[in-house]
Structure 1
Amino acid sequence: MYTIKDMPVQVPAEDLELLSGVETATVGHWRLLGFMDRAIQPLLPGRRVVGTAVTLAISGSDSTLLHHATGLLRPGDILVVDRLGDNKYACWGGGVTVAAKASGAVAGIVDGPCTDLTEIQDSDFPMWARGLAPITTRLYDLGGGMNIPVSCGGAVVMPGDAILADESGVLVIPRGEVRAVAEKALGMQVAGKEREARVRRGEVKLGEMSGASAKVLAKIG
């Protein structure tokens, strides 16, 4: 009934520190894989978190394994919950939030609704979910999987992957690709700020800089 694998090796702290300066939308300029469905949105505004994915798969109205999993989380972990298609029952609320934060976890991501928004806000615990619902799960002891490959928002999440989540959404990055993705994104962000400053000063128009204006003018002769 339960498949529980070993806790994954955590992503190196120096890689996560580098990744913490990256915006998901920057990576979205070139990368397509690893982005969760945009319906999975932050419940607390203005947050950006990075951490190691600990995965969970639980179904329907049961959250027995989720309660157990909160006791296994470590500082720096992000619990990613695959609800196996359910979008009715809220498996995550105020009590689970308190338990996850007490373990040192830095965030939770649920492919389904949460509940107890005020309690989540009071705990100051970053959460990403498909909105809110008043109908909650129970302890039906129906089984599930922990630290197995899961699908969350259409993205494959392996235990031990890096997670980058911010106001624009959630990105999953295989641990071996974190540094290369972060370094490329940070370089793009620096260049982007420089371009924005030139436009702000009136030195150049956006269409001229991007090459869009040349394309339009070529079409209209």
Structure 2
Amino acid sequence: MTTESLAIDPAIRDALQSVSTATLTTVLLKHGLRNVWLRGTRPLAPGLPRIVGRAFTLRFVPAREDLATPASWASPISTRAAIEAMPAGCVAVVGALGVTDAGIFGDILCARMQKRGVAALVTDGVVRDVAGVLQTGLPVWCQGTAAPPSVAGLTFVGWQEPIDCGGVAVFPNDVIVVDQDGAVLIPAAMLADVVAASVEQERLEGWIMEEVDRGTPLPGLYPPNEENKARYAAWRAGQGVS
């Protein structure tokens, strides 16, 4: 049974596009979550923008010879069918067991995802046909590239169900933020609290950077002591921040 895809509130998406994944990991740590950075998810191309979207999950298991065949690509349970269920704006998150010698998607599948308006592809595996994938314009975060197809090392089993990606439990409709530092997960139930805290953390760190530029020593500044907290509060008030 698959989970219905939900849209992300544009205001939340816009707010998170100003928050780095580094900041998010700090905020989530303060909320008690340590395991939120998806290991092995690196940008395939330089200069990719920060992207925010709801997770649309896909799951692979180890290859089994009677199931992992080219004929399986025409099955009703296939990566092709999963792509047709992806809503515009989602981030496709693919649990590939960290396999690096079988490419989960190539240029044709990525081109179709781009046409459907998928925001990004994130996986702990690798892609193939890399030149073509880059030409599609689909932003990809992965471990790299490999020539063999997915069935050389993996069996596709379903979509929109909980997965393991990069050692992190990803549920459908969790929120994924990706930038040059990789991919970070925000649990759907914690979204509002994390967004508010993250925006404030970015504002605080922006003020701290201004102080560093002025030559202020770090002790008592980062993190701020009571004196610097008061100075920051006065600065916020002067900026009209409630």
Question: The TM-score by the shorter chain falls in which range?
Answer: 0.7 to 0.9
Alignment of 1:7-156 (within 5 A): 7-30=4-27, 31=29, 32-37=34-39, 39-46=40-47, 47-60=49-62, 62=68, 64=73, 65-138=78-151, 144-156=157-169
Other-structure match for 2:201? 188
The 10-residue stretch of structure 1 (82-91 or 20-29) with the greater mean CA deviation from structure 2: 82-91
Is contact 1:70-1:99 (8 Å) kept? yes
Determine helix, strand or coil for the equivalent of 2:202: helix
Partner amino acid for 1:7?
E
* Aligned-residue offset at 1:179: 2.2
Contact kept? 1:52, 1:161, Cα under 8 Å = yes
Give yes or no for the alignment of 1:206 onto 2:208.
no
Q: 1:208 Cα shift? A: 5.2
Distance in 2 (CA, whole Å) between partners of 1:201 and 1:168 is: 27
Describe the superposition over 1:17-72 as per-residue Cα deviations: whole angstroms up to 9, x where unpaired.
222221110122242232211x2211122321111111111235647311221111
| Aligned equivalent of 2:2, options 1, 5, 19 | 5
Do the aligned residues in 1 keep the contact of 2:100 with 2:144 (CA within 8 Å)? no
1:210–1:21 distance in 2 versus 1, CA, 3 Å? closer
User: Does the CA-based 8 Å contact 1:58-1:144 persist in structure 2?
Assistant: yes
Percent identity for Structure 1 against Structure 2: 24
Shift of 1:211: 6.8
Displacement of 1:9 after TM fit? 2.2
Task: Find the aligned partners of 2:198 and 2:95 in 1 and give their Cα distance.
Answer: 28
TM-score calculated relative to the size of structure 2: 0.77
SS in 2 for 1:58: strand
**TM-score using structure 1 length:** 0.84
Amino acid at match of 1:195: I
Distance 2:89 2:62 in 1: 28
Structure 1: 5+ residue runs without aligned partners?
213-221
Task: Give the distance between the partners of 1:75 and 1:22, measured in 2 at CA.
Answer: 22
Structure 1 residues 143 and 98, CA, compared in 2 at 3 Å: closer, same or farther? closer
Distance in 1 between residues matched to 2:96 and 2:186, nearest whole Å: 21
**Which runs of no fewer than 5 residues in structure 2 stay unpaired?**
225-242
Contact 1:60 1:137 in 2 (8 A): no
Give the whole-Å Cα distance in 2 for the aligned partners of 1:182 and 1:155: 20
Aligned pairs, how many? 207
Letter in 1 for 2:175: A
Aligned residue number for residue 228 of structure 2: none
In 2, are the aligned partners of 1:60 and 1:86 still within 8 Å (CA)?
Answer: no
**1-structure distance, mates of 2:21, 2:90:** 19
